[in-house]
Structure 1
Amino acid sequence: MKKLSVVLISIFLAGCATTEKADVNVVALKGPTAMGMVNFMDRVDQNEQFDNNYNFNIVSSVDEATTMLVKDEADIVALPANLGSVLYNNTNGEITATAINTLGVLYILENGNSINTIEDLKGKTIVSSGKGATPEMTLRYILEENGIDPDKDINIEWKSEHAEVLAHLIANENTIAMMPEPFVTTALQKDENITRALDLTKEWDKIQADNPEKSSLITGILVARNDFIENNPQALDEFLTNYEQSVNFVNSDTEASAKLVSDYNIVPFETAIDAIPNCNITFNRRSST
């Protein structure tokens, strides 16, 4: 009996010794989604011990992030909410949303002082990027719910990138623009004549006040490949647990988080420390079933 016990213990210890860590490849866009991860990334870089190996990649374009996901070069990717549904359809349902990580980050800015309500946008031109994506869908919904026809009552001048909108806003007086954080903070810091005229998250919430089925303005989600979820459920669970801790850290310690955001070259410290409180970084875990 004693010999059998020794053999069983040896088998158990051998099994524990051969357990391999999973490699978890994570991609986030430069902006609020990556900001929420900085504490987690720093802990990994400080060689804190985890049950799995985490590799983070911060990219500047949505196209780069989606390409890495489709090519199986990424296991978990932070994406704009509307793009998640597009990719779900394009991959025949091979991805799953695992968490909501960013709520509303869109604002109406003005190089002037004529916009105080949504109704003031009627007859105006709005410069923005994000045609066919979350910015356009958000703006159209808010305008329509306020009795403004986005195709007839206003003119939307679409740019290819947020940086292009920022440059146009700074260079032209009396310009109205729709932009997300942290570009909003950058604009306010560069030109004292630019004002934050409307918070579109608050405008969205006003619409929901009398709605029996209230909705939230969701900007960013976290998706994972289904094969990764099925093969590495423990790794996904550990990642989400630590990501939530990171989000809580970022929202509770702005200065320390802004330093990390700067260290990871997401945005400069001066921008991050003002932008983080307005980025609506959040964590709401979704069921993977």
Structure 2
Amino acid sequence: MKKRSLAALLMAAAMTLSLAACGGAGAPAASSAAPAASSAAEEPAESAHFSVAALKGPTAMGLVKLMEENDARTAALLSSEARPEESGDAPAALKSQNVYSFTLAASPDEVTPKLIQGELDMACVPANLAAVLYGKTEGQVEVLAVNTLGVLYIVENGNAVQSLADLKGMTVAASGKGSTPEYALRYLLEQNGVDPDRDVTIDWKSEHSECVAALASGAASVALLPQPFVTVAQSKLEGLRVALDLTEEWDRLDNGSGLITGVIVARRDAVEKNPGAVQAFLQDYAASVDWVNANTAAAAELIGSYGIVDAAVAEKALPACNIVCLTGEEMHQRLSGYLSVLYEQNPQAVGGTLPEDDFYFGA
């Protein structure tokens, strides 16, 4: 028998899940230990098929355990279809869970059009881009969780940089113009008495790998890099050191906000159609993040197997990637504070206006 393509497998699993969600005959009976009136609380959790995109880097790293479990779940669903006489009660349990189609992308430009056009239900994107999308779609995008705190570092061939003030008169290779790296660097420089337009030259590159290449060739001695590119650069350049952790520099300001790199957003219509399934996704995501943070070596192997980052690089970089899953009020407070800082610096960094409270799911 010919193997089905991945798309066909996911479609079949999604159809199976959809049929299960529509039928009520398979719901378990109420427990004898609970009053009959509470039977609604014991019905299967709402489930759905969500298409989810993440960028190859820390935002995707936190998803890998969920990706692995989803692959196994999808295979089990299809196996139960093919051999129902051998499946026992497994299909009912499997069909009460979400099924996901994951896409890994190299840049936000690959993701945002598909999200706006409805080809994606959810996407991991830079925090400020989430606010821009909220404005661009007139509120049709909302943020579900903060998934990555600060991952930005100043690295140096040498020992001249001990503080942000030491960057005066220097050239810093960097990428990410118009997104979190630029806004975070400019803000921190200003807060430390350095004019980012006059006191320092920021040599903007199109990709992080170009910054690593500039360091390797000697064209640059100082660079702004995120993890895991810091680890990649250190593996190629002996003596390259982390001079400054921008998350620590931001925290020193003690201004009620924190440096945030990435969030996961969803189309509002997908959330409103399946609010229970979205909550289930967040539970799945949080469990995946907890596992990744607690199992560095095993997580690194998974990260490598999915082609996100080389496993050896991932194992060294993970402790510095600040992978989290912050939801609800904590997400609201920290993200709104960060976006407010960006807005005060440059309103266009968040799309011209700050998002309303309906931007924050569950807050």
For residue 41 of structure 1, what is the aligned residue in structure 2?
67
Which is further off, 167-176 or 90-99? 167-176
Q: Any conservation in 1 of the 2:47–2:274 contact (CA below 8 Å)?
A: no
Alignment of 1:80-95 (within 5 A): 80-95=126-141
Cα shift at 1:111: 2.1
What does 1:123-138 correspond to in 2, within 5 Å?
A: 123-138=169-184
1:137-163: CA deviation from partner (whole Å, max 9, x where unpaired):
101111111111111111111111111
Out of 261, 279, 292, which is 1:219 matched to?
261
Asked if 2 retains the 8 angstrom alpha-carbon contact of 1:111 and 1:193, the reply is yes
Q: Verify: 1:284 aligned to 2:326, yes or no.
A: yes
Identify if the C-alpha distance between structure 1 residues 122 and 14 changes in structure 2 by more than 3 Å, giving closer, same or farther: closer
Equivalence for 1:10: none
2:280 to 238, 243, 259: 238
Whole-Å Cα distance in 1 between the matches of residues 217 and 155 of structure 2? 13
Amino acid at match of 1:31: G
Contact 1:112 1:173 in 2 (8 A): no
The offset of 1:288, in angstroms, is 1.7
Find the residue that maps to 1:74 and give its secondary structure: coil
Mapped to 2, the partners of 1:172 and 1:17 lie a distance apart of 66
Aligned residues: 273
Any unmatched runs of 5+ in structure 2?
A: 1-21, 28-43, 77-93, 329-359
Preserved contact between residue 173 and residue 203 of structure 2 (Cα < 8 Å) = yes
User: Among residues 12, 24, 30, which one is paired with 2:56 in the alignment?
Assistant: 30
CA distance in 2, matches of 1:281, 1:231: 28
Cα contact 2:172–2:220 (8 A) shared by 1: no
Higher relative contact order (CA 8 A, sep 6+): 1
1:14, 1:239 → 2: CA distance?
A: 21
1:63 corresponds to which of 91, 96, 109: 109
What corresponds to 2:340 in structure 1?
none
- The alpha carbon displacement at 1:52 in A equals 2.2
Q: Which moved more, 1:259-268 or 1:41-50?
A: 41-50
1:199 is aligned, of 231, 245, 254, to 245
Q: Residue in 2 aligned with 1:252?
A: 294
Determine which structure has the larger strand proportion and give its number: 1
Residues 7-26 of structure 1, C-alpha deviation per residue, up to 9 Å, x if partnerless? Answer: xxxxxx95244999521101
Task: Output the CA distance in 1 between the equivalents of 2:125 and 2:216.
Answer: 28
How high is the sequence identity, in percent, across the aligned residues? 48
The change in CA–CA distance for 1:54 and 1:152 in structure 2 (over 3 A counts) is: same
Residue 314 of structure 2 is aligned to residue 272 of structure 1? yes
Contact 1:106 1:181 (C-alpha < 8 Å) held by counterparts: yes
Inter-partner Cα distance in structure 1 for 2:105 and 2:152: 20
Q: Is the 8 A contact 2:173 2:220 kept in 1?
A: no
Indicate the structure with greater helix content.
Answer: 2
**Corresponding residue of 1:189:** 235
CA distance in 1, matches of 2:219, 2:64: 36
1:21-75 CA-partner distances (Å, limit 9, x unpaired): 5211011000001000001101111227352221111111111111210121110
Equivalent position amino acid for 1:120 in 2: D
Q: Is 1:120 matched with 2:166?
A: yes
